[in-house]
Amino acid sequence: MKEEFLSISEFAKRAGVSQQAVYKRLDKDLKPWLIIKENKKALNIKALDIFSGKIDSTEVEKVELLKRTIEVLEKQNETLTKELDIKNGQIDTLNHQVEELNSRLKESHFLIGRQQELQAISEKEEAPAEPAEPIIVEPTPEPAAPDPEEELSDKEIYKRALEKLPPTPKLFDRVLRPELWQKKQQEAIAQMSEKEREVLFKYGFVGDGR
């Protein structure tokens, strides 16, 4: 049901009191019933019960106390709402900052990973190569000089071997000092090549002369 409100003059007429009497009580027991309507003060028609005795002053005080309590709670709620809005705004700002930091951190991790990869590649390229095993080049053996004895016949070798023997001593030395001549002959034979000794004995040399 829609509440009915009366102007101060109309309310005074119905209550059977003067307007001054009503104004005096606006800040007291009539206050819970007072509103401002179109920039003018008005009273709820139920406030007439105060003048008829249907509502006692104690009941009015309770209503006024309740109204004040509601006003205080509404103000507190308004204050809390504003503070909550501020906090929500701060939380949104912090969330945005956290998202930016996470994005930058992820980007930093990516860049650090790429830098480490590039550094590893650079170090690998700059690292000195392991020394190769030395290649041992075997010297090419010089061709053996041709053996001049292979180009000579056995007779020519025999003749050369005889020339290396000491001269045949005189008969006197051969009889009296044969060991001296034999020693010289053995020394000469020992200095000959194997081929010369072979050919020498092949042709019948027995060590007692040419």
Q: Domain limits of the chain?
A: 1-55, 56-122, 150-202
* 44: Cβ contacts below 8 Å, ≥ 6 apart: 3, 4, 5, 6, 33, 34, 35
Q: What pLDDT shows up at residue 157?
A: 86
**163 within 8 A of 125, measured Cβ to Cβ:** no
Q: How far apart are the first and last CA of the chain?
A: 173
Helix-then-strand count for the chain, H and E: 8, 3
Q: What pLDDT shows up at residue 210?
A: 45
- What's the DSSP call for residue 33? G
Q: What pLDDT shows up at residue 77?
A: 83
CA-CA-CA-CA torsion sign (41, 47, 52, 56): negative
CATH class of 1-55: alpha beta
User: Angle between the 194-202 and 154-164 helix axes, to the nearest 10 degrees?
Assistant: 100
The answer to whether the pTM exceeds 0.85 is no
Q: Which residue from 209, 210, 142 is spatially nearest to 178, judged by alpha carbons?
A: 209
The SS3 call for residue 35 is strand
Successive 10-residue mean pLDDT values, the chain, 210 residues: 87 93 91 91 92 64 68 82 85 83 81 82 70 67 61 84 81 76 85 86 68
DSSP per position, 93-160: HHHHHHHHHHHHHHHHHHHHHHHHHHHHHHHHHHSPPPPPPPP--PPPPPPPPP-GGGGS-HHHHHHH
Q: For 198, what's the count of Cα atoms within 13 Å in the CB-facing half-sphere?
A: 6
